[in-house]
A and B are shown apart, each in its own frame.
Chain A
Amino acid sequence: MAKTVDTRQSPRKVAGETRRIKIIRTLARKKWVHNVAGLVIKRMEKRGATEYRIAAIRAFADDLRSAYRKEKPCIYTSAFVPNELVYGLGGVPFLPEAASGFAAAFGFARESLSASESLWYPPDLCSFHRAGVGASVIGLAPQPDAVVVSSQLCDGGKRSLYQVSKAFDCPFYILDVPYTESPESLDRLARQIEEVAEGLEREVPGLSGDHMDEAIANSNSARSHYLDLCDLRRYIPSPWRGREALNYVVMFLWSWGSPWLTRFYKALKEHSESIIQQGEYPVKNERFRLAWSNLRPYYTTRLFDYLEDELGASIAFEEFSYMYWEPLDANDPYLSLAKKIMSNPGWGPIERRLEVIGKLVDEFSIDGVVQFAQWGCRQYNGAVSILSDYLRRKGIPFLSLAGDGVDERNSGEAQSLTRLGAFLELIESRDIRSSR
């Protein structure tokens, strides 16, 4: 019955299509622009740019070139869809939520947000989703050939991307992730992943499962280097800047299955080893070690200048960077991807998430936990009181830092600086007292 309802989106003019957006969307689709970008990256390499940064740039440059130039099918995925599936089918993934962070960092978020408001998105919804939809409809993002979403965690992701699939009239698939893990629920999810793969092969020209073994191998190899990197991040003082780690959370969400991710984590691991050997730590005089939950504001670095450079506080680890899955099995890719999805500690009972945060606090010698309370983020903000009580019982100070990762109109920088400063003063006063 429901299938007879016409859900197509009528073409409409939206806000945010400014002159510069029109220029960028035209340039993003030109071959010569991508060729020039390739030359610039090579030049950076020759001039000795840090290897892990080059690997990260290459990873995105390759994917974006393929997507904008339509060299490979572009599959929009929501956060927590295992992108090994997309790389394994020979496509390139595009995560509008993660791309919103890029838009904010490069100053294009306002147009994307305006466009989403034209589509009736109210400003109190998560800006990562709003900007993602907006960037798609104004053509700042590449055009999707299909959309795959997961029902896990972000409710706004599947709804906003459904709208995108209607705007571009392309196939839409949803992975309806079971809430609790059991052999039956894993089988059910594995069957769904297989059906999505078959549907994509059938409906999107250019996709086939020939690359699945390669994508699984890439993912496992990247995972192995990543675990070594996590071990190095336990070192005191911290060998890496938290602000950068929070930037590269985008790769953690996006690039599993890409060959570049292995190179990225390997290079980053080697970089961290050399930092520790040389003793030249990025945060001078580390006085505090923080764990960071959820994402960060991407349009400013001021909070991190203040934390890391002025107050000597390292973000030693992020909740989003926690490696939660076992190596994948190329002989049974769909079941192992199902297991990966179901292992996410943010999904299911809250106890799973608390257990991981408690583990991070202990393993990374954490003095305090900051949760970035993203405006409109239901699943994280809804659990603040439970998390706060849990950490209080563990004797770990907790700060819920209200703000917005993409929409700077929803943030007050002066207030955020005061909260962070006061939080560190609170930790310091406890340390002074306990040393007496």
Chain B
Amino acid sequence: MRTGSYVMGIDVGSSVTKGVLLSDGNIVSTFMLPTGTELSITAEECIEGLLKDRGLTKKDVLYTVSTGYGRTQVKEADKTVTEITCHSRGAKALASGARLIIDIGGQDSKVIRLDEDGMVADFVMNDKCAAGTGRFLEVMAERLGVSLFDFGRMWKTAKRPANISSTCTVFAESEVISLLSAGIALDTIIRGLCDAVAERLLGMIHRVGLVPRVVMTGGVSKNEGVRLSLEKKLALKVTVPEMSQFAGAYGAAIIANESAVQR
């Protein structure tokens, strides 16, 4: 029997699994690890990591909500909620007044518009290909031999962006090779790649309607280059909360907290 006062949110994403543990509504532990191929085992490891940090066991957890692509693989989950709802709840809690959430994960990107009350009013997701996702940037970084963490620094040193016309990962890779062989500077190409991702997102943003405050979450939010490109194209500030990667798991934990109270 579970008797504790803790609740958990587990976000099994395509690249990374994240967990957030709450006590009395406050974050007391976070944990993340690569998702790998065995989703249920990864989720188990994430839960263990969260609890071990505080010297707790599963019995101490009153309620668990899972989200993300692997949400149905979390055996401990009392409830599953989609990442659209969880990201909106998490982002709203991490950045008060958030009205538009841009979440770019490993294999997809989402744009969620919240209404005045902070509820989901509309959302769109990218179509089936990897265009404009974290995977696209990973492949390009690998090809260029540059760390994703250096994108922001190099974006700032570039005088202009290179023109990358395709966000199809395969076609863009061949474009990048052509640019390199034409002697285009690395920072120019990187700024061009960030612009290509931002361009891809612009259509989605305007589909649901641009409303400030714009908040970025998901793994790619840590890529400063993409944020800078977005800010330039939107002509407004894009907020990246400190725990932006945990927005989905945090939102799941908030829902777990509410569900535990209702139980």
Contacts and interface: CB of A to CB of B under 8 A. Distances in A.
A315 B35 CA distance: 35
Contacts of A419: 125
A415 B68 CA distance: 10
A68 to B, nearest CB: 36
B128 A429 contact: no
Contacts of B122: 426
B82 A429 contact: no
Residue from B120, B125, B128 with most neighbouring chain A CB atoms (10 Å) = B128
Contacts, number: 41
A410 interface: yes
B40 to A, nearest CB: 16
B125 A429 contact: no
Interface in B119-133: 119-123, 125, 127-128
B163 interface: no
Contacts of B84: 418, 422, 425-426
A1 interface: no
B83 interface: yes
Contacts of A410: 128
A425 B128 contact: no
A414 B69 contact: yes
Interface in B80-94: 81-85
B195 interface: no
A247 interface: no
B120 A422 contact: yes
Contacts of A426: 84-85, 119-123
Contacts of B128: 402, 410-412, 415
Contacts of B81: 425
Given A426-B120, A429-B119, A433-B117, A418 B83 contact: yes
B119 A422 contact: no
Contact of A418 (B82, B127, B207): B82
A430 B119 CA distance: 8
Contact of A429 (B69, B83, B120, B207): B120
B11 interface: no
A415 B84 CA distance: 11
A163 B120 CA distance: 47
Given A402-B127, A411-B128, A425-B84, A418 B69 contact: yes
Interface in A396-436: 402, 410-412, 414-415, 418-419, 421-422, 425-426, 429-430, 433
